[in-house]
Amino acid sequence: MLIFDHFPTINHAIDFAHKVRSDHTRETIVCRNQKQSNAIDLFPFSLRAPIVLVARSEDIGDETEQQIETLVTQFGGTFAGT
């Protein structure tokens, strides 16, 4: 999973998730806190909610992941890692 956090509001996170699904056809999950996020994909560092999890491609070196990492800034979030 690609992990994104620190969105200004839950609506920003939801809008980002919708954009990723529509433009990149990736599965996304919006979490209101890290406990929800960790139940899906454990991340060892502290995250700032809201959090969006995005399914990774099976293709190594997928350029779409870089596009998604850049896209998050338009919604006020940050790329936390994988």
Phi, psi of 66 (to 5 degrees): -65, -40
Residue 19 has pLDDT above 90, yes or no: yes
Of 73, 3, 75, nearest to 38 by C-alpha is 3
pLDDT surpasses 90 at 17: yes
Instruction: Supply 2's token pair.
Output: 């690609």
Quote the CA–CA distance of 43 and 54 in Å, as a whole number. Answer: 13
51, 3 contact by CB (below 8 A)? yes
* Position 55, amino acid: A
Tokens of 16: 């980002």
The predicted-structure confidence for 22-75, as pLDDT tens digits, reads as follows 999 999 999 999 999 999 999 889 999 999 999 998 876 678 999 999 999 999
